[in-house]
Chains A and B, each alone.
Chain A
Amino acid sequence: MHELSVTGDIFQIVLRYVALHRVDKVLSIHLEIGELSDLEEEWIQHYFDKISKGSAAEGAVLKVHKIPCVFYCEQCGAEFEAELSSVDMIMCPSCTSRKCRMVRGDEYTVKSMEVL
């Protein structure tokens, strides 16, 4: 639903780096999106194609890299991945503590771009 405004933000960031590095053409843009952040790759691409027309980023392919949810155990310091859509409890696999904090999984970052 909010893909349009997000795409606008991505485009602004890309344009800034295009100017900074005097880029002629952007080939691809890599995004890191946490498992918890809803973003439809297809729609971002669709909007991006429209708003980037006539710029150095026209025709660039957006690649979304999903970052899984990672938890940190406050009891023993272990880090582990967990699938949140399962109904089971989040529990540390090393010490079975339930005092675990999510440390990755809500990223929303423009990671890099490939350019000419």
Chain B
Amino acid sequence: MTEIKLIEIGEEIHSDNKKTAADVRSILTKSGTFLLNLMASPGAGKTSLIMNTLSGLSNQTRALVIEADIDSLVDAEKIVQAGARAVQIHTGGFCHVNAGMIMKTVHSLNIDEIDLLILENVGNLICPAQVDTGAHANAMILSVPEGDDKPLKYPLMFRSCEVLVVNKIDYLKMEDFDMEKLKDRVWKLNPDMKIFELSCKTGEGLDPWVGWLRNRIRL
């Protein structure tokens, strides 16, 4: 009779992606290029924040935006119309960007002439949180109309970012949104999270965020 055997594996599911992500990070670090991975729900204001951030940074920061979408060029076109540089990657039905996609993009760019890459990830709070893109920093946007309960629903996203931008604070008066409650919930998951409250529409609160990013790039 054949015997049933137990084979110990103990391997992380995304280990291949982790290796590629580490390679992406090291290539970019060598060329002095900072990669920011920006994640949020659809409509939270990723494209608006990117456009505001680019105009807030000095012209000395040579930036390029990597737009990731399942399909369409809408966001990349918006960025280019605003006078910034953008490339579009299509994830082909994938709900997130992985390190392999970024590696391909990095190879197609002259990264020695880029100081900052901003990746606009696919609009989704679940999958992107689990996949290392090779970014130096993960940031997320939560917009006020989405509600202060999102850390309870998408805890991993709040765990995997070092900075949270709370966008659309101009809606605070209209919404049942408790900023202190949100912060408590976020810091419970991630005590080191930096939180910036701003409005891309009115421009309020943008400067501290841009300042943080400017310093972070230099590290």
Residues on A lying within 8 angstroms of B by beta carbon are: 1-2, 5-6, 9-10, 12-13, 17, 21, 23-24, 27, 31, 36-38, 84-85, 87, 89-90, 99-102, 106, 108-116
Contact = CB atoms under 8 A, between A and B. Distances in A.
B106 interface: no
Contact of A89 (B12, B96, B127, B184): B184
Interface string B4-16: 1111111111111
Nearest to A82: B188
B188 A84 contact: yes
A36 B125 CA distance: 13
B9 A17 contact: yes
Contacts of A31: 13
A50 B184 CA distance: 43
Question: Main SS of the interface on chain B?
Answer: mixed
A6 B156 contact: no
A115 B95 contact: no
Interface of B: 2-17, 94-96, 98, 124, 126-127, 130-131, 152, 155-156, 159, 184-185, 188-189, 191
B7 A1 contact: no
B12 A36 contact: no
Which of B3, B9, B14, B96 has the most C-beta atoms of chain A within 10 angstroms of its own C-beta?
B9
A24 B7 CA distance: 13
A90 B155 CA distance: 14
A114 B126 contact: no
Contact of A1 (B3, B6, B126, B155): B126
A116 B156 contact: no
A84 B157 CA distance: 13
Interface on chain A toward B: helix, strand, loop, or mixed SS? Answer: mixed
Contacts, number: 92
B136 to A, nearest CB: 20
A17 B96 CA distance: 28
Contact of B6 (A10, A38, A100, A112): A112
A2 B127 contact: yes
B13 A38 contact: no
8 A-B pairs with least C-beta separation = A2-B127, A1-B95, A36-B156, A108-B13, A110-B9, A90-B188, A9-B13, A116-B2
Contact of A106 (B4, B6, B124, B156): B156
Contacts of A109: 10-13
Contact of A112 (B9, B13, B124, B130): B9
Among A24, A100, A112, the most chain B Cβ lie within 10 Å of the Cβ of: A112
B157 to A, nearest CB: 10
A3 B190 CA distance: 25
Contacts of A12: 16
B7 A85 contact: no
B96 A113 contact: no
